[in-house]
Structure 1
């Protein structure tokens, strides 16, 4: 994607590629370099975002659980009140029916002592049943109250944790913006001077996708597509652009060997891979690289960080698929990826 910003292209690409390899550390990472810092902060920000989203979902689940318990507790309280009313109604009925008299006196005064006894037994069983139901209802109410209190406490604790995570996420993102600015400045200076990016490797093992083919970046917005016309290109746009912030990990779409790592020219800092099926993929406008010419890269392996080097209107990855390693043989990368099971 061309840009109105003038960029120096006076240094030959071959010399620039040699400078890339000479500038990169051979074994140990550069812990103070902006590429390393951006990679570390990018992962930290992603991890904080994942934890925040997990915590937010957990808090929503606990809040919903607390609400369900509260609704059940309200219904249980209504049942308990009804049972208490039934028990009171029974007591009042017994009193009006002579239930307050001693049983012996009631039998003397009754016209049918046997009927009186049967009535007493029925009333007693009814009284016991209602009393038992009231006791069980009270216990159920207590259990629901305890469950509701526990769910509410868990929800409140998660809300506090999420508030702390949100603050941490903001702090990391602020640090990441600063580090991205430093990385972009270093990349621009490197390309202008023809000294190459000098990208650092991280100490952590490379993350592989477990799939044969993947997207070159994980989160993006599509910008210029293959074949687009405009004043920015001499003819037509030869790749698919993925708009991403500076420092976004750029990954090999499939297993392949690194045939070119270079800087300078309209593509800025770039990596070209050759795949087993004979196709080549190009990753351009990078801010840093994480591979050397001759390296093997697996599908999903980080090979660099996105940037805005070369003729670029803003931070993005220019991704191109070719039938040769050189420009001029590009094919549309979207259907090419689609035939390999990757949707853009």
Structure 2
């Protein structure tokens, strides 16, 4: 009879293991603190969910990348990139997972577990992150689907490590299902994965906020901005756009939407990705960077634009107008991030 693997909560601590755990907790705390106060948290959560879901698919040994997740969820067909060839339905779990991430707080971490979990030796004394990873480890032994990897960000929130859902914090390893690797090495590897994911999530939030500031400054500097401000707010919640999808959301004609998108591209508010003259598709610069369509900035960061009364007015009304936009999206039945219509 095969002996069960030694739980993480019962491992002997070493300086390297303690350092890896501390670095992971610090990185997660920094990201969580920023997300809790950022007005761009909903936009970041959508983008982070693409990265987290791509990680889960890789852990399932599926040859899919984040670019494939973005294209699938936004209905994009990228020029020069073939459709992913996979068996089964690898994208079906995304919608339910995103819905679970959006659940209100207050549910106990034991709720919805698809297996019976008895806290192992050392549970009460173990750091809270070690408890969460012990739960992930036991889950991976009983479930061969992507559910354990996708469930980790939910467990981290329910067990009290994060105050907000952080979908980028998907971690794990196929070897956990066989428990063949040294247990200390597995725990250290998981901590390093979470640290890197949290640091990448924070970098993505920095890029999103910096891009929003540059967009606001560019719009404020326009003599006749027209619907550019509305388009900028729409792009936060719906970062993949085309004239046919923008027109009904902004109440303008398809021709007018095309001209508006072209103007936004000239101002570097959007990036055109379709590579054709008609029925063009556009994405925000941060998504274009994730798709590998533009190169990341190099060298010293650009100086933020100086504050101005016009820019302050734009930022001051941002929350109210985003709430109105959410209400309009809900009315049109496209409020959910999983409800992207094809944009090409």
TM class by smaller structure: under 0.3
The structure with the greater share of residues assigned to helix is 2
Higher Rg: 1
Structure 1 length as normaliser, TM-score?
Answer: 0.23
The structure with the greater share of residues assigned to strand is 1
Structure 2 length as normaliser, TM-score?
Answer: 0.23
